Amino acid sequence: MWDERKDQNRWQMKFILPEHNEALRQLHLAKKKIEQPVLSPEQLEEFEYTIATAMSEDMPLNFELFDNGFVREISGRVVCVDHLRKEFRVKDDRGDTNFIKFADIINVKTP
Protein backbone atom coordinates (compact mmCIF):
# COMPACT_ATOMS: atom_id res chain seq x y z
CA MET A 1 0.00 0.00 0.00
CA TRP A 2 1.12 3.43 -0.85
CA ASP A 3 0.91 6.04 1.93
CA GLU A 4 0.50 9.54 0.51
CA ARG A 5 1.42 11.30 3.80
CA LYS A 6 4.86 9.63 3.97
CA ASP A 7 5.58 10.68 0.42
CA GLN A 8 4.64 14.33 1.09
CA ASN A 9 6.74 14.51 4.26
CA ARG A 10 9.77 13.12 2.49
CA TRP A 11 9.71 15.85 -0.15
CA GLN A 12 8.97 18.64 2.31
CA MET A 13 11.99 17.79 4.44
CA LYS A 14 14.45 17.61 1.52
CA PHE A 15 13.81 21.02 0.01
CA ILE A 16 15.52 24.00 1.74
CA LEU A 17 16.30 27.21 -0.10
CA PRO A 18 19.86 28.54 0.24
CA GLU A 19 18.47 31.67 1.91
CA HIS A 20 16.74 29.55 4.53
CA ASN A 21 19.88 27.52 5.09
CA GLU A 22 21.93 30.72 5.61
CA ALA A 23 19.29 32.11 8.01
CA LEU A 24 19.41 28.88 10.04
CA ARG A 25 23.22 29.06 10.14
CA GLN A 26 23.12 32.69 11.34
CA LEU A 27 20.56 31.80 14.02
CA HIS A 28 22.74 28.93 15.20
CA LEU A 29 25.78 31.25 15.41
CA ALA A 30 23.78 33.91 17.29
CA LYS A 31 22.87 31.35 19.95
CA LYS A 32 26.57 30.62 20.58
CA LYS A 33 27.56 34.27 21.10
CA ILE A 34 28.66 35.37 24.56
CA GLU A 35 28.86 38.70 26.37
CA GLN A 36 32.32 40.15 26.94
CA PRO A 37 33.45 39.17 30.44
CA VAL A 38 34.36 41.92 32.92
CA LEU A 39 37.80 41.28 34.37
CA SER A 40 38.76 42.14 37.93
CA PRO A 41 41.81 44.31 38.69
CA GLU A 42 43.50 41.23 40.17
CA GLN A 43 43.06 39.31 36.90
CA LEU A 44 44.50 42.22 34.91
CA GLU A 45 47.47 42.41 37.27
CA GLU A 46 48.06 38.66 36.87
CA PHE A 47 47.96 39.03 33.06
CA GLU A 48 50.51 41.88 33.22
CA TYR A 49 52.84 39.77 35.37
CA THR A 50 52.50 36.73 33.07
CA ILE A 51 53.19 38.84 29.95
CA ALA A 52 56.16 40.66 31.51
CA THR A 53 57.70 37.35 32.66
CA ALA A 54 57.18 35.75 29.25
CA MET A 55 58.74 38.73 27.46
CA SER A 56 61.82 38.75 29.71
CA GLU A 57 62.34 34.98 29.26
CA ASP A 58 61.27 34.91 25.56
CA MET A 59 58.51 32.37 26.28
CA PRO A 60 55.39 31.82 24.16
CA LEU A 61 51.93 32.62 25.52
CA ASN A 62 48.37 31.57 24.73
CA PHE A 63 45.91 34.47 24.51
CA GLU A 64 42.14 34.05 24.66
CA LEU A 65 40.48 37.04 23.01
CA PHE A 66 36.93 38.33 22.82
CA ASP A 67 36.07 38.70 19.12
CA ASN A 68 32.55 39.97 18.39
CA GLY A 69 30.77 37.56 20.72
CA PHE A 70 33.15 34.63 20.31
CA VAL A 71 36.44 33.52 21.90
CA ARG A 72 39.46 33.40 19.60
CA GLU A 73 42.86 31.99 20.56
CA ILE A 74 46.30 33.20 19.49
CA SER A 75 49.60 31.62 20.52
CA GLY A 76 53.00 33.19 20.14
CA ARG A 77 55.69 35.42 21.61
CA VAL A 78 55.04 39.04 22.55
CA VAL A 79 57.51 41.13 20.53
CA CYS A 80 56.21 44.61 21.30
CA VAL A 81 53.88 46.44 23.67
CA ASP A 82 52.39 49.64 22.25
CA HIS A 83 51.03 51.65 25.17
CA LEU A 84 49.77 54.48 22.96
CA ARG A 85 47.60 52.18 20.83
CA LYS A 86 46.94 49.88 23.81
CA GLU A 87 47.90 46.71 21.97
CA PHE A 88 50.46 43.91 21.83
CA ARG A 89 52.25 42.56 18.81
CA VAL A 90 52.50 38.78 18.99
CA LYS A 91 54.55 36.73 16.53
CA ASP A 92 53.09 33.24 16.03
CA ASP A 93 54.79 29.99 14.96
CA ARG A 94 54.31 30.79 11.26
CA GLY A 95 56.10 34.11 11.67
CA ASP A 96 52.93 36.21 11.28
CA THR A 97 52.48 39.26 13.51
CA ASN A 98 49.11 39.55 15.28
CA PHE A 99 47.88 42.77 16.84
CA ILE A 100 46.05 42.18 20.13
CA LYS A 101 44.17 45.00 21.82
CA PHE A 102 44.40 45.17 25.61
CA ALA A 103 40.60 45.39 25.89
CA ASP A 104 40.04 42.15 23.92
CA ILE A 105 42.07 39.92 26.26
CA ILE A 106 40.02 37.45 28.29
CA ASN A 107 42.85 35.17 29.48
CA VAL A 108 46.62 34.80 29.17
CA LYS A 109 48.50 31.64 30.06
CA THR A 110 51.72 29.82 29.33
CA PRO A 111 51.41 26.67 27.21
Q: For 58-104, what is each residue's pLDDT tens digit? A: 999 999 999 988 899 999 999 999 999 999 999 998 999 999 999 99
Angle at 24 between CA 22 and CA 25, to 5 degrees: 65
Average pLDDT over the chain reads 86
pLDDT of residue 89: 95
Q: What is the pLDDT of residue 13?
A: 54
> What is the number of alpha carbons within 13 Å of residue 32 lying toward its C-beta?
10
Identity of the amino acid at 91 = K
**Do 68 and 59 contact (CB within 8 A), yes or no?**
no
Q: Which residue has the higher pLDDT, 77 or 9?
A: 77
In the chain, DSSP finds a helix count (H) and a strand count (E) of 3, 5
pLDDT at residue 16 is higher than 90: no
List the domain boundaries for the chain: 41-109
Residue 64, strand partner residues: 73, 107
Q: Which fold has domain 41-109?
A: SH3 type barrels. (2.30.30)
